[in-house]
Amino acid sequence: MSKKIAVLTEETIHDLEFWYPYYRLAEEGYDLVIVGPEAGKSYTGKMGGVIRSEKSPSEISAKDFAGVVVPGGWGPDKLRTHKAIVDFVRDVHANGGVVAAICHGGSVLVSARILEGVRATSYKSIKDDMILAGAEWVDEAVVVSKNIVTSRTPSDLAHFGKALVETLKKIK
């Protein structure tokens, strides 16, 4: 399996939920690629940091990626309006890659229609959306269902990072 992992960015993505998994996976030797709706664009995170996209979905192929991380914040509300982003997430999942979402990141998984029958969690405000998308929603720090890893909030990041690393190691 590839060592490439996409981490999604958009305006008002949650900075910590972006950078914690980014650096944690870098520590494990993964090749991180920052993917946004447009390539080479500087997006401003919820906390004000700049997260510049390296690639847009049209420039990459889901089959080259071992996984994709969808951080939270308000960014997922924008990410899910881009068909190419949603298609990329669905294709990574369809190809056996890992899809990880924290907080509002679950909204992109809802739009990608990959939650049917999946035990998962999210920020509490989108619980109903997750359930309507077919998820078995639970209130836990991190939930791993096959190749889908989900967490609730930034305070779950230690659990999210650990589960993400373990799940990626299993699929290689």
Contacts with a copy of itself by CB under 8 A lie at: 15-16, 19-20, 23-24, 26-27, 47-49, 154, 157-159, 161-162
93 catalytic? Reply is no
| C-alpha 41 chain-centroid distance | 19
Q: How far is the CB of 160 from a copy of itself (least distance, A)?
A: 9
Q: Which is nearer to a copy of itself, 100 or 110 (CB)?
A: 100
Q: How far apart are the first and last CA of the chain?
A: 5
Handedness of CA 78, 82, 83, 87 (dihedral sign): negative
Q: Which is nearer to a copy of itself, 57 or 75 (CB)?
A: 75
Given 14, 93, 103, 159, which residue is catalytic?
Answer: 103
Closest approach, Cβ 82 to a copy of itself, in A, equals: 26
104 a catalytic residue: yes
Say if residues 141 and 92 touch (Cβ distance below 8 Å).
no
- Choice among 82, 93, 104, 159 that is catalytic: 104
In sequence order, what E strands does the chain have?
4-8, 31-35, 42-44, 50-52, 67-70, 98-102, 119-120, 136-137, 142-145, 148-151
Q: Which is nearer to a copy of itself, 82 or 104 (CB)?
A: 104
- In whole angstroms, the minimum distance from the beta carbon of 26 to a copy of itself comes to 4
Q: Which residues are catalytic?
A: 103-104
